[in-house]
């Protein structure tokens, strides 16, 4: 078995919650011009995996050309969490995700590295009763790249025995920056075909076949 440690993104990999996240920004900024909000949603889709803190800053600094204080970013991020948290708890799991975690919990070490707020992410995993599968659950405001590095260091995991499963270019870049293999999940965030010879699965019911064959991105 090539891999011993599997690191999962959360939204769009374990849970079908990407659209919930996008709609959350629409609700959060409902009193702002719609065209500006849709530019933010497009940015969020292109930059899936980037934290809400960075997306909120982008909305004000790049789209509205306005400064925003860090305390206001924190306040808006908290309001965003209140808008989406229960909906994410109630969202459908990605096909095959629960079965994979249950069937292979003794074969691999599992961890989550997500762009979602870490406190919220841990609460959601606990409410969905999946937190016990994971040795670590890491989220923002730290970046995915730094959280993967932290995870490898903390756990003492070798890079060649780790695999990151994600659904965004941000996930791919975070894996590459840390020298670990990557498999993409096709959640329709990006066109994986543009990434070259990369292993992509439609859902996690296919994941065990790629792991069994030792195929990787």
The pLDDT of residue 217? 44
- Label residue 70 exposed, middle or buried (CB < 10 Å: 0-12, 13-18, 19+): exposed
- If asked whether residues 126 and 23 sit together in one domain, one would say no
Whole-structure pTM value:
0.92
Tokens 């096709």 locate to 186
Q: Indicate the residue among 65, 90, 115 that finishes a domain.
A: 90
Residues 96 and 179 in one domain: yes
**Residue pair 5/161 in contact by the 8 Å Cβ criterion:** yes
Q: What's the domain range around 142?
A: 5-16+91-213
96 and 163 part of one domain: yes
User: Do 189 and 168 belong to one domain?
Assistant: yes
pLDDT per residue as tens, the chain (217 positions): 589 999 999 999 999 999 999 999 999 999 999 999 999 999 998 887 788 999 999 999 999 999 999 999 999 999 999 999 999 999 999 999 999 999 999 999 999 999 999 999 999 999 999 999 999 999 988 999 999 999 999 999 999 999 999 999 899 999 999 999 999 998 877 777 767 778 889 999 989 888 877 544 4
Residue 214 is predicted with a pLDDT of: 57
């Amino acid at each position: 078995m090539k891999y011993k440690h599997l690191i999962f993104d959360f939204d769009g990999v374990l849970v079908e919650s990407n659209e919930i996240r996008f709609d959350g920004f629409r609700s959060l900024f409902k009193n702002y011009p719609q065209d500006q909000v849709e530019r933010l949603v497009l940015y969020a889709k292109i930059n899936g995996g980037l934290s809400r803190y960075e997306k909120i800053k982008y909305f004000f600094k790049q789209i509205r050309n306005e400064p925003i204080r860090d305390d206001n970013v924190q306040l808006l991020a908290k309001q965003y969490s209140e808008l989406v948290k229960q909906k994410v708890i109630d969202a459908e799991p990605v096909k095959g995700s629960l079965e994979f975690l249950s069937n292979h919990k003794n074969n691999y070490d599992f961890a989550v590295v997500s762009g979602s707020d870490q406190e919220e992410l841990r609460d959601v995993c606990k409410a969905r009763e999946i937190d016990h599968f994971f040795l670590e659950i890491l989220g923002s405001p730290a970046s995915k790249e730094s959280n993967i590095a932290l995870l490898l260091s903390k756990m003492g995991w070798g890079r060649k025995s780790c695999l990151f499963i994600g659904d965004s270019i941000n996930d791919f870049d975070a894996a590459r920056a840390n020298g670990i293999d990557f498999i993409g999940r096709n959640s329709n965030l990006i066109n994986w075909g543009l990434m070259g010879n990369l292993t992509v699965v439609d859902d996690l019911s296919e994941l065990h076949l790629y792991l069994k064959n030792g195929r990787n991105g």
